[in-house]
Amino acid sequence: MNKKVSVARLSVASNTLLIVLKLIAGLMSGSVSIISEAIHSMMDLLAAVIAFFAVRISDNPADERHPYGHGKFENVSGVIEAFLIFVAAVWIIIEAVQKLMSKEDSEFLGVGIAVMFISAMVNIFVSRRLYKVAKETDSMALEADALHLKTDVLTSLGVAIGLSLIYITGIQILDPIIAILVALMIMRESYFLLIRAYRPLLDTALDKEDLEIIETLFKKNNVEYHDLKTRKSGNYKFVEFHLELNPEAKIVDAHNRCDEIEDLLKSKLDHLTVTIHVEPIMN
């Protein structure tokens, strides 16, 4: 099974389990912070499902309708996930404000505290797996999913600590306040995810690190060039430039030089497509 698809399935399964646990604990305790975490996990589950289908589609080879491949499906899924995270944050704030106005007390806090710690531990494991595979495959969709779960770890621990303080002090207002803080953290997450996922859809250049690799390689191998252009589509990278050669060079020599440069670039950058236009050096 494809490594990306396998770890995406793991994320779907873990989020489903945590939603059930959080909803049970939230309904038992009446805690809006736990319910807010259940809502957060629902968005995580939807995001995980989107990521699952995105990584399956993005790995499909180029075809007649998509000659540059399907990589941008991962970026589209990242944009959708960012929007879902923001919606979840707004929903949580609404629930928290209603709890502040109703002034209802929370019960069975011990159950909620236990569920939050379990949630944090599960998400630590799954997010690490997602980050590992995302780094290995340069997957935007899996990285976005991992970011969701990383935030869920922080918010779950925050809720667990908050519920513990309520249990100790009896100050019930801490519950909706914690929920609002969770929502603000989620909004921040959605902003950075949106920026990272949306930029490749505008065909922005490769990251600074990749560009430095290309320029260093050209310099070491005496490559004379101009009009360098780069872009990214999912985990696929595209480089094109004009190669300057001696006007007396034979076609076969020019072809071999292009192959040499292409092989050098592909040895440094994964999932790379290179397009070279040969031009004579004009004195």
Confidence at residue 191, expressed as pLDDT on a 0 to 100 scale: 86
Confidence at residue 215, expressed as pLDDT on a 0 to 100 scale: 93
Give per-10-residue mean pLDDT for the chain (283 aa): 76 86 82 76 78 76 74 79 80 76 66 85 88 80 77 78 80 78 80 80 83 93 91 84 90 93 92 91 70
Q: What does the H/E/C string look like for the chain?
A: CCHHHHHHHHHHHHHHHHHHHHHHHHHHHCCHHHHHHHHHHHHHHHHHHHHHHHHHHHCCCCCCCCCCCCCHHHHHHHHHHHHHHHHHHHHHHHHHHHHHHHCCCCCCHHHHHHHHHHHHHHHHHHHHHHHHHHHHHCCHHHHHHHHHHHHHHHHHHHHHHHHHHHHHHCCCCHHHHHHHHHHHHHHHHHHHHHHHHHHHHHCCCCCHHHHHHHHHHHHHCCCCEEEEEEEEECCEEEEEEEEEECCCCCHHHHHHHHHHHHHHHHHHCCCEEEEEEEEECCC
Q: Is this structure's pTM higher than 0.75? A: no
